[in-house]
Structure 1
Amino acid sequence: MIAKLQRVLLVLWIAALAGTLVAWPLEWIPGYAAVTLVAALLVGHGFVLAGEFMAMHWTNQRDTAPRAGLRDVVAAWWQESLHAPKVFFWRQPLRHGMWKDHLPAGAPSARGVVLVHGYFCNRGLWNPWLSRLTHARIPFIAVDLAPAFGSIDAYAPVIDAAIVRMRKVTGHPPIVVAHSMGGLAVRRWWIDRAPDDLHHLITLGSPHHGTRLATLGTTQNAQQMRVGSDWLHELQAAEQPATRARVTCVYSHCDNIVFPASTATLSGTRTVHLPGTPHVAMVDHPVAWNLLQEQLRMAPAHPGASDPAPCSRTAP
């Protein structure tokens, strides 16, 4: 559904741009109006992102997370302005099915990987990861969460099916990497399962305690991600404390979607701070990939082995 919707939006954007470029020399519209419209179509997303970054920077001034300097914020805005179109105009609408789930027989990895995307995204978000995992012959499943704008609770069966399927292939609980809302979806699935049903969960910019930006959302899952929502309180109350030792929370003081920054962390987990890294670009940060490789190397060859103790660090 998301891929189709994003393709429709992409076609409308191309049509508007092409129509303006044709109408301009033919003087069907005034020159100043054509220039304004072309500029809005080409760089309008940068202005929207600028609003997000300003709100983020102002909100984070009163947060307990490390503070970002103005130079960090500007650099993160520029990075996201270049990175987000690649994801929302290319990977997700046009290349979401490029890499199929990889479940090779006799794969050398003792663990499989399940990848879970976030809000208004699909599995195409993970394409660079899927390429590397395929070439490394590491088993993986990348899910598509549906319904796109329904309750986060509804995603549990999708995640469960992927994890059950992976366990049948590898014989071991998998590692899950989840971006943004995907981290909440996995936590929701986990409350009905044993702590050791996952080897480890890595969340990238997940709004574990909500995000102020969700106050602008009207969909059910956006409302659930509001800071202080009843849904988040119920999730935390239902969780098993033992699961926290199996979680790594990656967050950033320049996350333009999840802020205040500390809302992307959870007590009792390992936390990794990525300075100057915006929300979508966090997926492609080398530290995120390295954390997965670390877990793959550390994965025990037998069930029941203990995981490393939680710790915190800041990535370079």
Structure 2
Amino acid sequence: MNARWQQAVVIFNLLATIAWLAWQWPRSPLMALAGVAAALALFGLVLGLQFVTMLRVNRSDPAPRPSWPQLATAWWAEARLALVVFGWRQPFRHSFVPDWLPPLAPGQRATRRGVVLVHGFLCNRGFWLPWMAVLRERGHAYVAVTLEPAFGSMDDYAATIEAAVQRVTEATGMAPVVVGHSMGGLVARAWLRSLAPDSAAARVHRVITLGTPHGGTWAGRFSRSVNGQQMALGGDWVQQLQQDEPAARAARFTCWYSNCDNIVFPAGTAMLLGADNRLVEGVAHMQMSFDPAVMRACLEEIARG
């Protein structure tokens, strides 16, 4: 489970920081603090290299080039968010908020469409904690899945999505909206491919993807996991998925993409031919899912169902 190894990483880093401070502080408080600052700077540098690589690869992409203030803002937002998501929400809060499926009286039908939330690579359901609060406040039943095994094939996650869709459909009497971040959007497409062609259209109302590498991503070449390799830029898996889909299916998709996405690039790979493709400028990969304007537009689209 992703939460366990993320817990181990956080605890190891905390213990290492405490040990360093205990060792160096009596000798030189300045040196002790400098060591902690150096570790944070290294984290920021690695993240910055992602943005530099993204800029270089995106030179041939038609998406507008970001300004330097946009890049700086996206880098800072992604750095802060990464610490929160991987240091707190996913390792320690992933099961804190349960799925919300309010019961209906016999013969009653929900007035709001339900939602299935599907996280991305190296994540779990804790990624969606801010969404859970907003969806419940607005009366949308939801199920947030955790995809396991963490490094398995995306095709093997179809049963998890199917079970979540069934639960939301039974709770509301309506086909849900599926919202997928990053790899989660590809998992939604793999789930639809696993269904009988004549039933797939009735199972989901709409699919919203946020920074999903529909055409693969440049960084996928470095992965050694099964699902990471499936996301290789122009790879066999994403090409086969495209070939297997009916031409009209993309019309059910809304695909958000960004010119500052530090994970999914070239930027155009997050678009899907025939979908409602929406560019949001100046937001990074994880940041896209929590950008106020993007969230507001997604919630409005869900509510229109």
Q: Secondary structure at the match of 1:141?
A: strand
Q: Supply the distance in 2 between the matched residues of 1:59 and 1:35 (Cα, whole angstroms).
A: 36
Q: Supply the distance in 1 between the matched residues of 2:251 and 2:238 (Cα, whole angstroms).
A: 19
For the pair 1:14 / 2:14, whether they are aligned, the reply is yes
Amino acid at match of 2:82: A
Query: Using a 3 Å threshold, how does the CA distance of structure 1 residues 109 and 288 change in structure 2: closer, same or farther?
Result: farther
Give unmatched runs, 5+ long, in structure 1.
Answer: 300-316
Q: Secondary structure at the match of 2:278?
A: strand
Aligned residues: 297
In the alignment, what sits opposite 1:53? 51
Contact 1:207 1:258 in 2 (8 A): yes
Amino acid at match of 2:17: L
Q: Alignment partner for residue 67 of structure 1, among 65, 87, 92?
A: 65
Q: Alignment partner for residue 115 of structure 1, among 102, 117, 123?
A: 117
Q: Supply the distance in 1 between the matched residues of 2:224 and 2:260 (Cα, whole angstroms).
A: 24
Q: Secondary structure at the match of 2:208?
A: strand
Q: Supply the distance in 1 between the matched residues of 2:304 and 2:8 (Cα, whole angstroms).
A: 43
In the alignment, what sits opposite 1:264? 270
Q: Secondary structure at the match of 1:61?
A: helix
Amino acid at match of 1:274: V
**TM-aligned CA deviation for residue 26 of structure 1:** 4.1
In the alignment, what sits opposite 2:236? 230
> Residue by residue, what CA displacement relative to the aligned partner does 1:198-219 show, whole Å, maximum 9, x if unpaired?
1000000000001111112111
> Residue by residue, what CA displacement relative to the aligned partner does 1:46-92 show, whole Å, maximum 9, x if unpaired?
11100100000111111122221222212211111122111110111
Q: Supply the distance in 2 between the matched residues of 1:297 and 1:141 (Cα, whole angstroms).
A: 16
Amino acid at match of 2:170: K
Q: Supply the distance in 2 between the matched residues of 1:175 and 1:36 (Cα, whole angstroms).
A: 48
For the pair 1:211 / 2:249, whether they are aligned, the reply is no
Which structure 2 residues correspond to residues 240-259 of structure 1 after superposition, within 5 A?
240-259=246-265
In the alignment, what sits opposite 1:285? 291
In the alignment, what sits opposite 2:138? 136
Contact 1:108 1:137 in 2 (8 A): no
In the alignment, what sits opposite 1:5? 5
Residue identity (%): 42
Question: TM-score, normalized by length of structure 2?
Answer: 0.93
Q: Alignment partner for residue 157 of structure 1, among 153, 156, 159?
A: 159
Amino acid at match of 2:186: L
Amino acid at match of 2:124: N
Amino acid at match of 2:218: R
Q: Supply the distance in 2 between the matched residues of 1:269 and 1:226 (Cα, whole angstroms).
A: 21
Question: TM-score, normalized by length of structure 1?
Answer: 0.89
Amino acid at match of 2:90: Q
> Residue by residue, what CA displacement relative to the aligned partner does 1:168-221 show, whole Å, maximum 9, x if unpaired?
111211001100000000001111332232100000000000111111211111
Q: Supply the distance in 1 between the matched residues of 2:23 and 2:253 (Cα, whole angstroms).
A: 54
Q: Secondary structure at the match of 1:206?
A: coil
Q: Supply the distance in 2 between the matched residues of 1:154 and 1:297 (Cα, whole angstroms).
A: 30
Contact 2:207 2:254 in 1 (8 A): yes
Query: Using a 3 Å threshold, how does the CA distance of structure 1 residues 102 and 108 change in structure 2: closer, same or farther?
Result: same
Q: Supply the distance in 1 between the matched residues of 2:135 and 2:219 (Cα, whole angstroms).
A: 33
Moved segments of 4+, more than 6 Å: none
Give unmatched runs, 5+ long, in structure 2.
Answer: none
Contact 2:120 2:180 in 1 (8 A): yes
RMSD of Structure 2 on Structure 1 (CA): 1.8
**TM-aligned CA deviation for residue 36 of structure 1:** 5.6
